[in-house]
Amino acid sequence: MKSFIVILPISLLLLLVVNRNAFRRSLLHPLGWKEYQKNILAYGLRFYPRQYLIIHFTSVMLVLIASFVFALPLPYILFLCFVVIIFLPTTLLWQAVFIREERDFFMLTSFLQQTIAVFKSHPKIYAALSECLTLTDGDLKRSIIQWMNDIEAGSPLKESSITFLKKVPHFISGNLVNLMVFVEEYGSTEYAEGLEMIQDDIDDWIEDTYAFKQQQLELRNRIVILSLMALLIAFISKQMLFQTQMMQQVELYQFTMFLFLLSLIITLLVAQRIYCTPWIEKGEELWH
């Protein structure tokens, strides 16, 4: 037991060194909440201090309850609490990334769909952009305004779209811009089919991405349920041991319980990480 009391602070220090960023935005750091607030605001979301503290309090309480139920000694309890406090802001940020990515994805796809619809009836890029600008926000809106300004300034149509394509380098947006530029520059009567093809691509893209995100959420929920089941089995095992009053190897029991709870916390962290992957695949971004 004594050796673990030495090992635990050392491993905690190592953990902090390895995950310096996670530590910097955790409550253990004096300015941690400010760093977290900065990160959240960078994602365009609001920071609610009360909610932030309640989540921390609830998580630590859950760890404390589990530790007391499984009769862990204080060093182990402290270690588990530190791990939770260090990584909780990071998992909350993953949630923020998911919300931001989802919003950006649907904003982009609805902008592209609307642009196609407007361009179909009146094949002028500037008119289509100005009509669909209201659907956008943030960086996307800024890149479209830049595109429109460049057109106004008289730049060639293809060059003026560069800012937009740098912001949205997906092949579908590249294809749409290419087609619109060709139609406006050289004129064509059979562009509707090309636009429909791109429209179909967008529909498929939305459907596939949404289905994938649903799969990710299902997987996360499955992992959480499995973790809860594992907790229940561990509780039954522990009750069985205590009822027989045959416990002699207390240290072994406590150490395995500690490892079990730690693995559960890590698994729940990984489960949160699953759906935080980008909504737009890097392999489909070609217009860098």
Partner 1 sequence: MALTLFNLILIGTLIYFSDDTEKLLTSILSEQDLERGFRIIGKGERIPFMKQRFAKFKQTSYLFVFCGLLPNSLTWEVAMALLCYVVYKYPYWQLKVAIRKQTSLVRYQFPIYLRQLQVLLQNNTVVFAIEQSIDHAPDSLKGEINYLHKQLLAEPHQLNHYLHFLDYYALPEVGRAMKLLYRYNTVGQADSYRQFNRMIQSTSKWLRQERQQHKSTQLLIYQWWGLVPLFSVTLVFLSVMMNILLTMFGKGVNG
Would you tell me which residues interact with partner 1 (CB under 8 A)? 171, 174-175, 178-179, 182-183, 186, 188, 190-191, 193-194, 197-198, 200-201, 204, 208, 211-212, 215-216, 219, 222-223, 226-227, 229-231, 233-234, 237-238, 240-241, 244, 246-249, 252-253, 256-257, 259-260, 263-264, 266-267, 270-271, 274, 277, 281, 283-284, 286-287
Q: Which is nearer to partner 1, 130 or 216 (CB)?
A: 216
Q: Which is nearer to partner 1, 40 or 202 (CB)?
A: 202
Q: Which is nearer to partner 1, 61 or 247 (CB)?
A: 247
Give CA–CA dist 29/31, Å, rounded: 5
- Amino acid identity of 198? I
Q: How far is the CB of 121 from partner 1 (least distance, A)?
A: 18
Q: How far is the CB of 2 from partner 1 (least distance, A)?
A: 20
Instruction: Spell out the residues 6+ positions from residue 128 whose beta carbon is closer than 8 angstroms to its own.
Output: 115, 118, 119, 122, 180
Q: Helix, strand, or coil here: 285? A: strand
Q: Which is nearer to partner 1, 144 or 265 (CB)?
A: 265
**What DSSP assignment string belongs to 158-191?**
HHHTHHHHHH--BHHHHHHHHHHHHHHHH--S-H
Phi, psi of 170 (to 5 degrees): -65, 150
Q: How far is the CB of 23 from partner 1 (least distance, A)?
A: 24
Q: Which is nearer to partner 1, 46 or 288 (CB)?
A: 288
Q: Which is nearer to partner 1, 3 or 244 (CB)?
A: 244
Q: How far is the CB of 38 from partner 1 (least distance, A)?
A: 29
Contact 256, 234 (CB under 8 A): no
Q: How far is the CB of 94 from partner 1 (least distance, A)?
A: 13
Q: How far is the CB of 42 from partner 1 (least distance, A)?
A: 25
**What DSSP assignment string belongs to 76-145?**
HHHHHHHHHHHHHHHHHHHHHHHHHHHHHHHHHHHHHHHHHHHHHHS--HHHHHHHHGGG--HHHHHHHH
Contact 148, 134 (CB under 8 A): no
